[in-house]
Amino acid sequence: MRDRLHFILKAIFVIYIIGLCFCCFWNFRSSIDLSTELWGIPKDKIAHFCLFFPFPIIFYLAFPKLRKTPRRYLKFSILALVAGTALGWLIEIIQGWSGCRSKDMADLLADICGLGASLLMLQIFQAFFRKKWGLREEK
């Protein structure tokens, strides 16, 4: 049962990556206006933040062996941040090559902020529920 759940979660992670790439490469200019600002922040940066925020959470659920102990969780956090940043960087490079999108390193910064906020939330969530339910770390 657990193997099936992990397979489903890994499939969800792959589907998420495909959806993320679709959102980053598709030309939405005719339907969605991201050129304006919301509270002084460009909407396209908010979109990048929101698109990359789920990355560590889905990664966390899909690969449980990477996070069983505090030492492994630290490695998981670094791996999630590096993998997410590499994906964001690759997306920006490809967008620079495409004719309909532009490369903007501020988008990469928004991606990294989304990854970092998500990792911070996961850390708080994990510490809170370990304390609340008395969960011990697996060895």
Q: What is the pLDDT of residues 62-83, one digit of tens each?
A: 877 776 666 777 888 888 899 9
Query: Is residue 93 within 8 Å of residue 21, measured between CB atoms?
Result: no
Strand partners, 37: 42
138 part of a folded domain:
no
The sign of the torsion formed by the CA atoms of 51, 53, 54, 58 equals: positive
pLDDT averaged over every residue in the chain: 78
96 part of a folded domain:
yes
> Taking 50 as the threshold, does the pLDDT of residue 138 lie above it?
no
pLDDT digit string (tens) for 12-34? 989 988 888 887 776 656 555 55
pLDDT recorded at residue 19: 86
Q: At what angle do helices 2-25 and 54-62 cross, to 10 degrees?
A: 150
pLDDT digit string (tens) for 77-103? 888 899 999 988 888 888 777 666 666
> In this structure, what token pair is assigned to residue 124?
């708080």
65 part of a folded domain:
yes
> In this structure, what token pair is assigned to residue 51?
């698109």
139 part of a folded domain:
no
Query: Is residue 66 within 8 Å of residue 119, measured between CB atoms?
Result: no
99 part of a folded domain:
yes
Count: domains in the chain: 1
pLDDT recorded at residue 134: 53
Query: Is residue 64 within 8 Å of residue 3, measured between CB atoms?
Result: no
pLDDT recorded at residue 117: 94
Domain enclosing residue 36, as ranges: 2-133
Q: When comparing pLDDT for 122 and 106, which is higher?
A: 122
pLDDT recorded at residue 118: 93
- pTM across the whole model: 0.75
| HEC readout, 63-120 | CHHHHCCHHHHHHHHHHHHHHHHHHHHHHHHHHHHCCCCCCCHHHHHHHHHHHHHHHH
85 part of a folded domain:
yes
Q: When comparing pLDDT for 106 and 124, which is higher?
A: 124
